[in-house]
Structure 1
Amino acid sequence: MSQITLVLPYLLPLPEFAPDLVRALQTPMLASLLARSTAHERGSAPDTSLALPHEQWLARALGLSPEGRPAFAAAAMRGFGLEPAGGTWFIVSPAHIQIARSHSMMTDARHLGLLEEESRALYDAARGLCEEIGRPLLYGDAGTWFLRADDWAGIGIATPDTVAGMDLTDFVPRGAAALAYRRLQNEVQMAWYTHPVNTAREARRLPVVNAFWLWGAASDPGPAAGNLASTGVPGWLRALSNRHLDSPGALDGALAQDGMLVVGSLADAALAADWHAWLQGVQQLEEKLFAPLHAALVQGRIRKLRLVLSSREAIAEFTTTAMAQRAFWRRPTLERLT
């Protein structure tokens, strides 16, 4: 029998929408897992200026930062087979920034649809500019590159999901090191402005890649992640995983031993505040994830299940067991989502 920790970012609705969304859900297995629990804890994240609650939780759980700082870069490099080799590394995320009259805003990177060959071409155009100023740039995947900048270690830059859809004025880094970062950003933007990749994307009415977002500073990859599986997550988090599931339904291997499963399929809808799509996503998880997990608990294939749920503002943990699921006098309810 195994012990499983299931991390579900964005399954907690925001308070202003929670009552209506919870009433619309038809998820009896999720209701049973939440209501028939042996432990329940919920709280607001003390500071979400640099990372969302689930990102802070992961940083602590994976031994990368006791304070919950999003220090993912070095560990993600190891997942891509790259050697951090000392120094301070950042994750570089190609991005599309929209400029409005009063503010600028970064689009959710999931909407870029950046192909591998497009990313490689943009990476090649940026690499020379980075190396000219002594900043090695390494390639991970289409949405995940890595930059070494030891003297920028103090820059506090938020994760892409923290800033997606928000006014970037509130997240622009300050200080001398930040000035050098913005200078490099401007040079790369100019190199990409008329790049054939962006010309072709514009012709196909796709968002152009007109900026990059630097974040996740780390110098130590930390301990190995252990048995960590993921599905529907960004490339940097997939790189931290031992295995990536094609869908939440591909559970059999993940349930065979103790471990953690991160399911990121609700992020797109939640960040876009598309609550109809969010409801559909939760209903799909009921069939592909919650029902199989409930069955595995009742059948004794899982000894203990911990659920870690979050929103942009809060995080909640629930622990349940086979014995707890037999407590028929506890009515299954989704009230704990509100």
Structure 2
Amino acid sequence: MAAELLKQLPKHAPQLVQYFDQCQSTIQSFPIHQSRCVAEEAWQIEQGQWHSAKAKHNAALALLLAQQQQKSLTPAHKPFWLVELVHIAPARDGAALIPASDLHIDQAHSQQLLQSAQSLCEGTPFQLQPWSTTHWQLHTNIDLPAHFASSALVSRTAVNAWWDQDHATRDWRRFVNELQMLYFDHPVNQQRQSQGLAAVNSLWPLGGLAPSAWQADNVPLRLATLSDAALRQDWGLWLHQLQELEKTLMPLLAHSPTLVLSNLEHIMTLTPTTPRFWQRFFPSTPTWRNHWLAQS
């Protein structure tokens, strides 16, 4: 599809393509089995101060989310964990996950589900506290391994590929299994299903890194306009949304920003350059086009 979309770009976003053509393009790879998150998440983490070279990028995702929401974290030396409210359902390849961002969870439902989950925590090594509508803070007195893949990555692949069965996660797996039974016919999920919404039937952990190990310097402007259509492979909608994205970007392009485009495992960085005199007579193929096609 990359080659076909490349043909359509000038028709739907001509000014954006013109800007791309004036940029120098570089490509960076983030293999998912090393980062255990999608390329965009890994890139955002690497923009900060990264002091845990042995840790996977996914271990810092809870810290990244806290930084994006401008929340302070204490104590700085203890691993910070969050859990995300998700939907897990049987699928052709084992099980599929829908992240909280696609579940349309309201505050009242989140609070009711949390209260039920807290009652289940008694007698377990886990405690849950409110944090946001879509995430709760997880406290535990066991050494939970910081290797859970990001929900964004799991939603694009399969739960089975990332649901580790090692001894260190045995208590967590048992807790989640009990929680899924509790949520199966929970009043909140009965109400959600009557509204045509997917049930919130599980929790997915993220984090495991101490706040002192990573600190972001800034938060780049993130535009996720194209993400949903790309995931659904609805390329007609993708091109339509690209037109809207161009309108959003046009005032910003006047300031010659660096643009960062992502797919599952790669980041393409477009940096504005000043054309050389000889390029007016011997134009070359912009590097971003080759990088775009290489990802197909």
Question: Do these two structures clear the TM 0.5 threshold for a shared fold by scoring above it?
Answer: yes
1:181 to 1:284, Cα distance in 2 relative to 1, 3 A? same
Equivalence for 2:233 = 273
Equivalence for 1:73 = 62
In the alignment, is the contact (CA less than 8 A) between 2:94 and 2:160 conserved in 1?
yes
Deviation at 1:57, TM superposition (A): 1.0
1:273 to 1:68, Cα distance in 2 relative to 1, 3 A? farther
1:101 to 1:117, Cα distance in 2 relative to 1, 3 A? same
Equivalence for 1:103 = 94
1:114 and 2:66 equivalent? no
Deviation at 1:112, TM superposition (A): 0.9
The one-letter code of the counterpart of 1:311 is N
Equivalence for 1:200 = 191
Equivalence for 2:135 = 144
| Alignment equivalent of 2:268, drawn from 307, 310, 316 | 316
1:133 and 2:116 equivalent? no
Give 3-state SS (helix, strand or coil) of 2:32's partner.
coil
TM (norm. structure 2) is 0.83
Deviation at 1:96, TM superposition (A): 0.9
Deviation at 1:183, TM superposition (A): 0.5
In the alignment, is the contact (CA less than 8 A) between 1:73 and 1:91 conserved in 2?
yes
Equivalence for 2:258 = 306
Equivalence for 1:210 = 201
1:327 to 1:194, Cα distance in 2 relative to 1, 3 A? farther
The one-letter code of the counterpart of 1:63 is Q
Deviation at 1:158, TM superposition (A): 0.8
Of stretches 106-115 and 198-207 in structure 1, the one that deviates more from structure 2 is: 106-115
Q: Across the two proteins, how many residue pairs are aligned to each other? A: 281
1:167 and 2:119 equivalent? no
Structure 1 residue runs without a partner (length 5+):
1-16, 229-259, 298-304
1:134-182 deviations in Å (ceiling 9; x for gaps): 3232222221222123534424111111011533221111211211111
- Structure 1 CA distance, aligned partners of 2:169 and 2:214? 30
Equivalence for 1:27 = 13
Equivalence for 1:156 = 147
1:150 to 1:306, Cα distance in 2 relative to 1, 3 A? farther
In the alignment, is the contact (CA less than 8 A) between 1:32 and 1:325 conserved in 2?
no
Equivalence for 2:255 = 296
Of stretches 52-61 and 142-151 in structure 1, the one that deviates more from structure 2 is: 142-151
Cα RMSD (Å) of the superposition?
A: 2.8
- Structure 1 CA distance, aligned partners of 2:254 and 2:106? 39
Structure 2 residue runs without a partner (length 5+):
none
- Structure 2 CA distance, aligned partners of 1:278 and 1:227? 29
- Structure 2 CA distance, aligned partners of 1:63 and 1:150? 27
| Alignment equivalent of 1:187, drawn from 175, 178, 192 | 178
1:286 and 2:246 equivalent? yes
1:249-297 deviations in Å (ceiling 9; x for gaps): xxxxxxxxxxx322222222222222222222222111111x2222233
- Structure 2 CA distance, aligned partners of 1:209 and 1:326? 59
The one-letter code of the counterpart of 1:313 is E
- Structure 1 CA distance, aligned partners of 2:170 and 2:20? 47
Equivalence for 1:42 = 27
1:165 to 1:294, Cα distance in 2 relative to 1, 3 A? closer
Quick one: percent identity of the two aligned structures?
26
In the alignment, is the contact (CA less than 8 A) between 1:55 and 1:68 conserved in 2?
no
1:282-335 deviations in Å (ceiling 9; x for gaps): 22111111x2222233xxxxxxx22221111322112115x4599983589672
The one-letter code of the counterpart of 1:36 is Q
- Structure 2 CA distance, aligned partners of 1:273 and 1:139? 35
The one-letter code of the counterpart of 2:13 is T
Deviation at 1:122, TM superposition (A): 0.6
- Structure 2 CA distance, aligned partners of 1:153 and 1:186? 17
Give 3-state SS (helix, strand or coil) of 1:296's partner.
coil
Equivalence for 1:237 = none
1:47 to 1:95, Cα distance in 2 relative to 1, 3 A? closer
In the alignment, is the contact (CA less than 8 A) between 2:145 and 2:169 conserved in 1?
no
| Alignment equivalent of 2:73, drawn from 65, 71, 83 | 83
Equivalence for 2:224 = 264
- Structure 1 CA distance, aligned partners of 2:168 and 2:276? 53
